[in-house]
Amino acid sequence: MIGRRRRTGPPAENCQAADEPNAAPEAQRRAVRLYSVATLRRGSLCSMLVVLAAVVVWLFVAATLIAGEPVYPLPEFTSGYQVPDALHPPPRPMWRHYADLAYLVVALALAAYFALVLRWRAGLLGLAVVSVIWLGFWRKGCVCAVGAIQNVALAIGDPSYAIPPLVIAIFLLPLVFTLFFGRVFCAAVCPLGAVQELVAVRPLKVPRWLDHALGLLPHVYLGAAVVLAATGTAFVICRYDPFVNLFRLGGSAGMLLFGGGMLLLGLMVGRPYCRYLCPYGALLSLLSPLARWHVRITPDECINCRMCEEACPYGAILESTTTPPPDRNWGRLRLGLLLLSLPVIVGVFAFAGYQLHWPLARLHPSVSLAVRMQAELADPSIGTTEASDSFRRTGRPVEELYAEAEQIRRRFIPGSVFFGAWVGLVFGVKLVSLAVYPFRKQYEPHKGNCVSCGRCYWYCPVEQARLGLIRDVDLDAYRRAAQSPSPGGDKPRQL
């Protein structure tokens, strides 16, 4: 670039007046000033025109005397047309994110207060309505705590993913609250839970065995979602979120149908998504038994009146033990065998998970594209997909894609082994927990499954006595009825 500083113009006979290239900008500026002086002195129209011409020349030279960058020639507009800039609407302002976070904190605190201190179901319902409106219909967008699992998993699995602290806060807040107050998040804060809470008008009881079996699903779903998110494959929780499309009043027909069906089902089966699918619920149900304070059915002592037995639509009330314990030796043996077989179960499932790593890896878009490209190159007659067409258009070498796919496949090996082991552990622990004979002196909520909805309070005579709705005499009647053996396991008489 020796020549850049030197300005060697073309021979004079080829120069046009309109684009005099020889003159440096300084010289041009001086010329303009001289002409201006001349204009003042003479004031003739002619010299005005000369000045204008000089300015135009100077403009042109100044505009074009910039070397070094490639030129994308715009038309040389002469009518004074100004080239506009593209306008871009800004995204959601930051304060709205902070407002959501603030709402989350306030709502969690309120839910805990209503559920544990005031024992006020109406308040929880009201809060649920507000949450559905705020976090559901108004906010529309993401991220919610349920989906944040995947962001966190991805951040752990892929250090290049810049997870916003806001997402971590949204993920952690309900966990911390659960550690102290039980699943108050599910009660009235989570919009997915709240909307199901609002439609659970006449829920039926799900048979115990089915409830236990389906209750394993959220844990499996959690494991799969974490592995798929951590490998950067997909955010399945968001993809198959049943209600977000209802909140947005849009989306694919399939997902809308799924959401609508889930709500319809929710009329008869209490909270189907929370109980049998929600992976965040699975996470919370692990933490909830450790809670410092937890929802109690009775505000005081349980009189074993069994009034609450039918109260819970979510199958989360554990009866007090009425039957005598079974044969202790057999029970111990069974428990011991199950505990011994637990590592075996985990190992078998982990192996199965390892076997699954390739089908799972094929869910990754790059891997499936690589597989497709390989198939297409081997047999061109199978045609192309949009993805392979796009890939061909980039001109990227296919070997690079294969190498990337292989790298992703390797990442899936620990992921799918973890997934298998996790499923095995969940399964094994379930078997162990079923084998343990429960000693319970009173009716109490299942600490993992109870979502703190507050329905059971109302059914408890002790609660009614606390509220002053029934007299102590009536409470005593309940107490006596509970203690007298009821023939044939009949329900105690209603008041």
Partner 1 sequence: MTASTHKLSAIAGVSALLAVAAITATVVGLLLSSDRRVADVPSQPQPQQIDPALQLYRQAAELAVALEEPRALALLDEQRVVVAGDQVLLIYRRDGTVLKRIALSEPPQCVAAGSSHHLYPQRIYVGFRNHVKVFDTAGDLIAVWQPPRDNADLLSIAVAQRDVFVADISNRLVWRYDTEGRLLGSFGTPVKSRGYPGFVITTRYFDVAASNDGLLYAVNPRLLRIEGFDYTNPEQQVPVRHWGRGSPQLDGFFGCCNPIHIAVFADGRFATAEKGFPWVKIFSRQGEFEGVVAGPAELAAPAADLTVDEDNNVLVLDAAAKRVRIFAPKNSQDVSDSDKRQ
Partner 2 sequence: MAIDNIPTRRAFLGDVFRVLGAGGMCCAGLWLTLRAGSGPQGQSPQTSAGGKSPAAEPLQPLPRRPGSYVWQIDPDRCVACDGCQKYCVLDVSAVKAVQCFALCGYCDVCTGYFPTQGYVLETGAENHLCPTGAINRRFVERHGDERFFEYTIDEQKCIGCGKCVAGCRLMNGSLYLQVRHDRCVNCNECAIAVACPAQAFRRVPATEPYLLGKNMKTAIAALERRRQAAGGAST
Contact residues toward partner 1 (CB under 8 A) are 1-4, 6-11, 13-14, 16, 19, 21, 64-68, 70-75, 208-210, 212-214, 216-217, 220-221, 224, 234, 236, 240, 323, 326-327, 330-331, 359-360, 362-363, 365, 368, 383-389, 392-393, 395, 423, 427, 430-431, 434-435, 437
Least distance CB 461 / partner 1 (angstroms): 27
Nearest to 401 by CA among 388, 410, 413: 388
Q: Smaller CB distance to partner 1: residue 20 or 474?
A: 20
- 383 scored as a contact of partner 2 (CB under 8 A): no
Q: Is 308 helix (H, G, I), strand (E, B) or coil?
A: helix
Q: Smaller CB distance to partner 1: residue 40 or 340?
A: 340
β-strands 317-318, 444-445: how paired?
Answer: antiparallel
Q: Smaller CB distance to partner 2: residue 335 or 387?
A: 387
Residue 167 token pair: 């997402």
> Of these partners, partner 2, partner 1, none, which one is at the site of residue 178 (CB under 5 to 8 Å by kind)?
none
Nearest to 176 by CA among 104, 94, 126: 104
Least distance CB 108 / partner 1 (angstroms): 30
Amino acid at 451: V
Q: Smaller CB distance to partner 2: residue 49 or 403?
A: 403
Among 34, 59, 102, 375, binds partner 2 (CB under 8 A): 59
Among 7, 248, 440, 471, binds partner 2 (CB under 8 A): 248
> Of these partners, partner 1, partner 2, none, which one is at the site of residue 196 (CB under 5 to 8 Å by kind)?
none
Q: How many CB atoms lie within 10 A of CB 127?
A: 24
> Does an H or E element contain 461, and which?
helix 461-466
- 301 scored as a contact of partner 2 (CB under 8 A): no
Least distance CB 28 / partner 2 (angstroms): 9
Residue 34 token pair: 């001289």
Terminal C-alpha separation, the chain: 100
What are the residues whose beta carbons fall under 8 Å from the beta carbon of 235, sequence distance 6 or more?
147, 150, 225, 228, 229
Least distance CB 175 / partner 2 (angstroms): 6
Least distance CB 489 / partner 2 (angstroms): 34
What are the residues whose beta carbons fall under 8 Å from the beta carbon of 308, sequence distance 6 or more?
297, 298, 317, 443, 456, 459, 460
Least distance CB 172 / partner 1 (angstroms): 27
The residue to which tokens 């201006």 are assigned:
36
- 176 scored as a contact of partner 2 (CB under 8 A): yes
Residue 234 token pair: 């997909």
| Residue 287 near residue 182, CB atoms below 8 Å | no
